């Protein structure tokens, strides 16, 4: 499809979105658990079939990112309004929501009805939970929209892994404090993914509940109210999970818990790589400078970007939170990740390797000035002495 617009000088602009139909991959990827289940039913082989979700996330996606490379193409600004108005892109996002639920329910049913070795159970929990974490990328995209339909679909998407506070916390908390020491969802240089998770998961939960309580109070509603978005999301998760336990027995309860926790951790991994070490400057009035594209790590690796609704063009997203995924832009002179998110997640799992790759990038971006880095407080005295020397 060709989008048209008119430049300031009256010149007609035509643009064809080469990724238009590739975005269907973000819907197709929700079927990975179903493929694994079907192959198990066909072959009876637990190892390769239950390894599929894990292998797809941490093997196939990084490999295809490396193979297909990056896409630096931006839509002309004159056609962005036409792209934003096209219902096709919104329909893709809406269609993915029930499919994420189908994959989750089918996986739990599979675990509850098959006799699996423990390692197969673990592989399914990690691979399935990480894949279901993609529902949070989808909830992230829909949750930034202002109309009620998008917000409802976002709530349903976030409930797949029981992360009902995500939209509230992310929109009102993270976007306000991103790339500052006060933000539990912005990683500090020298902080491992595991230390970050211990700070980010409870910190984001507390901030989400606090922000929702404040919103309800301003509107004259009590906290324990049907108007509480967080409670509605949790209620949906609990209702489905309870039904699954009734249907398949208590044997599936540990798997459900592991699946959800890994889904939460997947979001933590994304937060970790998105702002690692980057810092907004504090102004003389005590406020932080407005968030700009260079306060987020960016990557244009096309395959993983397609699967995550362009989440990895994170720089433009934070600078323009309402911009739909199909029209997010790349900019020159941004801090850039060497791989798409799944590859970076694997790197972050081994902190010495992560520090070896990413700390020099942070230092280079800051021009060697530690005062321009969101630094782990434990490292500040040593780095200050190092800089003075």
Dmax over CA atoms of the chain, in Å, equals: 68
Question: How do residues 9-50 score in pLDDT, each as one tens digit?
Answer: 888 889 999 999 999 999 988 988 888 888 888 887 777 677
- Residue 45: per-residue pLDDT: 77
Burial environment of residue 106 by CB neighbours within 10 A (0 to 12, 13 to 18, 19 or more): middle
pTM of the model: 0.92
Which residues lie below 8 Å from residue 83, measured CB to CB, with a gap of 6+? Answer: 3, 17, 75, 89, 324, 326, 327
Q: Give rounded-to-5 percent helix, strand, coil for the chain.
A: 65, 5, 30
- Residue 383: per-residue pLDDT: 56
- Residue 282: per-residue pLDDT: 93
Q: Are 165 and 204 in contact (CB under 8 A)?
A: yes
* DSSP letters for 184-231: TTSPPBT--HHHHHHHHHHHHHHHHHHHHHHHHHHTT--SSSTT-HHH
Name the DSSP letter for residue 13: E
155: tokens are 């709530």
- Residue 384: per-residue pLDDT: 46
pLDDT along the chain (389 residues), means of 10: 86 91 91 87 78 89 93 90 93 95 95 90 91 93 92 96 95 95 96 97 96 94 92 97 97 96 96 97 93 95 94 94 92 93 95 96 93 88 49
């Amino acid at each position: 499809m060709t989008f048209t617009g008119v430049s300031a000088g009256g010149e007609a602009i035509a643009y064809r979105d080469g990724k238009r139909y590739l975005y269907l991959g973000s819907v197709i990827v929700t079927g990975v658990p179903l493929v694994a289940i079907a192959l198990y039913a066909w072959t009876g082989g637990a190892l390769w079939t239950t390894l599929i979700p894990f292998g797809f996330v941490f093997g196939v996606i990084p490999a295809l990112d490396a193979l297909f490379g990056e896409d630096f193409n931006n839509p002309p600004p004159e056609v962005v309004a036409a792209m934003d108005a096209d219902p096709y892109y919104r329909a893709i996002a809406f269609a993915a929501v029930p499919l994420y639920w189908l994959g989750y329910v089918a996986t739990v049913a599979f675990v509850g009805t098959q006799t699996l070795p423990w390692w197969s159970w673990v592989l399914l929990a990690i691979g399935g939970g990480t894949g279901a974490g993609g529902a949070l990328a989808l909830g992230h995209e829909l949750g930034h929209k202002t109309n009620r339909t998008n917000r409802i679909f976002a709530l349903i998407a976030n409930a797949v892994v029981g992360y009902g506070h995500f939209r509230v916390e992310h929109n009102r908390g993270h976007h306000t404090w991103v790339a500052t020491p006060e933000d539990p969802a912005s990683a500090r240089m020298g902080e491992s993914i595991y230390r970050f998770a211990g700070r980010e998961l409870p910190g984001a939960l507390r901030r989400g509940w606090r922000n929702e309580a404040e919103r309800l109070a301003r509107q004259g509603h009590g906290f324990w109210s049907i108007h509480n978005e967080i409670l509605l999301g949790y209620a949906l998760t609990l209702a489905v999970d309870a039904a699954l336990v009734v249907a398949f027995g208590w044997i599936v309860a540990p798997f459900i818990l592991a699946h959800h926790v890994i889904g939460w951790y997947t979001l933590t991994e994304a937060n970790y790589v998105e702002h690692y070490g980057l810092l907004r400057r504090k102004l003389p009035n005590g406020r932080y400078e407005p968030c700009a594209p260079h306060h987020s790590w960016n990557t244009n690796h096309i395959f993983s970007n397609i699967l995550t609704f362009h989440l990895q063009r994170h720089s433009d997203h934070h600078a323009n939170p309402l911009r739909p995924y199909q029209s997010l832009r790349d900019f020159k002179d941004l801090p850039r990740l060497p791989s798409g998110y799944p590859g970076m997640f694997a790197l972050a799992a081994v902190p010495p390797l992560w520090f070896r790759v990413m700390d020099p990038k942070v230092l280079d971006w800051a021009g060697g000035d530690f005062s321009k880095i969101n630094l782990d407080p434990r490292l500040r005295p040593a780095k200050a002495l190092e800089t003075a020397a």
